[in-house]
Structure 1
């Protein structure tokens, strides 16, 4: 039978094909991978050219040809196949972020942003990268979360932000220090800064975590004042979630909810228009925020606008709030640029406010800034003295912080505390609505001033205690009864929350050993009382304080359980953020406790806390 020519050809090709070599294949793969890595290493738009790393496509292929010239025919075949496989794999598994927003420029326009219905700007459109078509031979790749734990960890805090050092009172031995005294605090800036940071993928330093401001960010179902009292204290004693051998003493103070009437408001908007404010989350957000506030003012109120940027200037003379278009037009003319003469701006604003003062009105300067005071009257001690003088003249000062990277929290807190006002940080239009619309009356109308709390613990019942938070609000024991000592203000409808962690006498949680020498420590009055609460405050316009006293019993339960559980979750969250070790209790436990105590949450603030705890756990 005649042999088929095709069979002869197949036999010749088979005989001429050299046998496969594992060692040769490994060497070819290694050389191909090294050349491929040298060319594609890094993520720069353009790498520095070197003799062995050309920047042009032609140079790349020149290098490939040079590599192949060193190989035998067998190695060349294996090497080119491996190189093609690596290139295909690189395309299939390249890191694509499906949620990366497209670039969306943001500019402030008065007619568009202020006059339109206030709303949160929609997110930038999502860019969906083209998906590589995968054959049946390629197994599907599991979807990856856009924010993986490795992406969240280690993000740096914005540079240039300053926070006052917190020197905590720490654990107190009741027999040695039975009395705790502090000024109330209704600020919420720390919580908003915390939220902004966690959503940006990084944690705040421990000194920036003011737990009292986290607690007071939320509303609680507290008992309301009755009769002529402007304030009402309430107490509850509940288990400590992170320590079965201690208890949490919850102290709540509530001011009366206004009946719909309020005094006229004389407001001076002191707006930082320095160059550092030229960012979408600073001056543009600030202007839209003030536009929201205007919706809550009426014909009995008046507004003026002072700016500072290198030098202070009048942007709007005192104008009735009913002339909304005039005020909006003045706001729309503002732009950022120049230095930051904060002192000059303050002096001008106070001078205008003093001219605007009327009998029976609330006169207040609202300072809106990114927190930087680098010119003018910027010495903290001098600022405190100056603002205290103006406070005595009846002009209050509140501070709104905007943007990140320039926050000087120490000065902002000093201004608000000495100005009988509040400090808030606004990072979104939703937060502006909360501060300036939902809580407008509480923020701008004072219900009680110089509010102080003093608790005397019974050493026979409580061996140790600590106040969670309020480090910057501590007072001396003798300051409580001294009406000359300034303290915090409570707005109409405001709530204040404070939590003590107490150690019952004989508890396994006692940390202080008895003294070996010296007189025996006093044991206090052998009664059932855990402590005695005293609350002192002044009515608006009065110089003499009023006093409310009440005993605290071990089974005190004035506050609903759900409210004490949620407050405990907030406090525990704050302690974890400060780096405190709570054995057996961590981010998952804090998240579960908060989730179980959400209750009525019409604006979603409590649900937001649950999400933030989860974010903090991922970052940690």
Structure 2
């Protein structure tokens, strides 16, 4: 990997849960990198600067010394920093292994004043660099002015992740336990398209992924950007479906047949049909996987856990589509589906659910 840390060293980063935590977090991450990985550090505040020339990750003392020399101060004006970070990543790609993954990691407390004031222009700039082979991830530190929506939008455009780090434990999770999945892509522009069989499914809705929705015609268009999946990641798409004939149906039947063909007969047992497209990193042409979704298919091993967390989110959002399903139901389902929890993250989620239930009461 070629990693360029673009670090916000403006005056607002001068608190224990910002720049000092950022330094500690990068120390944790450094232990996961090896002799084939190269690191550079660019800082931005009143002016941008290359705080660390491209350096092999095994040269720990040099990298740690560069981290220790970073101090918060000055105003935030980072256009030069952003441009320098991408230029540094491009140089590292030219000078190093042609198969290396290049990524800029923007670390900030949420002030995205990086010199390009128009959000669309900033996304276009990041998209252009993504197409040239350099991805962008965003790490948010501290509280107060953190803009999660902007973090997510920039990371999505840059084929990266957006994570909020408020403790060393969270840094351990993001930058140690999940580092490979966060930084090593195995599939680019992943698109999922599900078609439901109207002979069995009266209505459906996708839960979540609002910011990832694509037009139907975009599925086969390889020029349209989509999501990235990293090594070891698992992506779950949840649909709520209403069977034909169910009293829970909320919409009226269509007068005219929908779609391009007659419904598949219900005796096939097909609930729907899944199409998945993805690109091998570095390639421009997508590959297609297709498979029917059978009504009698065995549940996914992780399904109950995903349902519990999604249901919890629906309750927090005040959704009127969950009926009488309660916080207690979500907690009970999560506890039963916790499974092997090597790092205790699932128990942490259950604890948050119980706290939310207490506040609700």
TM-score by length of 1: 0.55
SS in 1 for 2:296: coil
Per the TM alignment, residue 289 of structure 1 is displaced from its structure 2 partner at its CA by: 0.6
The C-alpha deviation readout for 1:447-505, integer Å capped at 9, x for no partner, is 01110000011111101001010000000001111111111111111111111000000
SS in 2 for 1:495: coil
2:38 to 302, 322, 326: 302
The residue that corresponds to 1:386 in the other structure is 125
The residue that corresponds to 2:101 in the other structure is 362
The residue that corresponds to 1:612 in the other structure is 352
The residue that corresponds to 1:602 in the other structure is 342
- Kindly report which structure 2 residues correspond to 1:134-173, keeping only aligned pairs within 5 A, or say none: none
The residue that corresponds to 1:371 in the other structure is 110
With over 3 angstroms needed to count, the CA separation of the structure-2 counterparts of 1:511 and 1:456, relative to structure 1, is same
1:290 to 19, 26, 31: 26
SS in 2 for 1:389: helix
Is the 8 Å Cα contact of residues 8 and 107 (structure 2) preserved in structure 1?
Answer: yes
The residue that corresponds to 1:279 in the other structure is 15
Per the TM alignment, residue 380 of structure 1 is displaced from its structure 2 partner at its CA by: 0.9
- Kindly report which structure 2 residues correspond to 1:200-599, keeping only aligned pairs within 5 A, or say none: 265-357=1-93, 358=96, 359-374=98-113, 376-514=115-253, 519=256, 524-527=263-266, 528-557=269-298, 559-560=300-301, 563-581=302-320, 582-599=322-339
- Cα distance in 1 for residues equivalent to 2:226 and 2:350: 32
Per the TM alignment, residue 354 of structure 1 is displaced from its structure 2 partner at its CA by: 0.9
With over 3 angstroms needed to count, the CA separation of the structure-2 counterparts of 1:391 and 1:375, relative to structure 1, is closer
- Cα distance in 1 for residues equivalent to 2:62 and 2:113: 31
The C-alpha deviation readout for 1:501-520, integer Å capped at 9, x for no partner, is 000000011011236xx646
Per the TM alignment, residue 417 of structure 1 is displaced from its structure 2 partner at its CA by: 1.1
- Cα distance in 1 for residues equivalent to 2:158 and 2:15: 28
Is the 8 Å Cα contact of residues 81 and 114 (structure 2) preserved in structure 1?
Answer: no
- Cα distance in 2 for residues equivalent to 1:323 and 1:520: 66
- Cα distance in 2 for residues equivalent to 1:434 and 1:314: 28
- Cα distance in 2 for residues equivalent to 1:615 and 1:344: 44
- Kindly report which structure 2 residues correspond to 1:18-97, keeping only aligned pairs within 5 A, or say none: none
- Cα distance in 1 for residues equivalent to 2:241 and 2:29: 42
Segment of structure 1 superposing worse, 382-391 or 337-346: 337-346
The C-alpha deviation readout for 1:18-46, integer Å capped at 9, x for no partner, is xxxxxxxxxxxxxxxxxxxxxxxxxxxxx
Unaligned runs of 5+ in 2: none
Is the 8 Å Cα contact of residues 301 and 320 (structure 1) preserved in structure 2?
Answer: yes
With over 3 angstroms needed to count, the CA separation of the structure-2 counterparts of 1:299 and 1:520, relative to structure 1, is closer
The structure richer in strand per residue is: 2
- Cα distance in 1 for residues equivalent to 2:199 and 2:79: 52
The C-alpha deviation readout for 1:127-183, integer Å capped at 9, x for no partner, is xxxxxxxxxxxxxxxxxxxxxxxxxxxxxxxxxxxxxxxxxxxxxxxxxxxxxxxxx
- Cα distance in 2 for residues equivalent to 1:492 and 1:543: 20
Higher RCO (C-alpha 8 Å, min separation 6): 1
Is the 8 Å Cα contact of residues 105 and 136 (structure 2) preserved in structure 1?
Answer: yes
Per the TM alignment, residue 531 of structure 1 is displaced from its structure 2 partner at its CA by: 0.3
SS in 2 for 1:430: helix
Per the TM alignment, residue 542 of structure 1 is displaced from its structure 2 partner at its CA by: 1.1
Per the TM alignment, residue 584 of structure 1 is displaced from its structure 2 partner at its CA by: 2.5
Per the TM alignment, residue 589 of structure 1 is displaced from its structure 2 partner at its CA by: 1.7
Question: CA RMSD, aligned part only?
Answer: 1.5
Q: Flag the structure with larger Rg.
A: 1
Per the TM alignment, residue 375 of structure 1 is displaced from its structure 2 partner at its CA by: 5.4
Is the 8 Å Cα contact of residues 453 and 533 (structure 1) preserved in structure 2?
Answer: yes
- Cα distance in 1 for residues equivalent to 2:290 and 2:114: 47
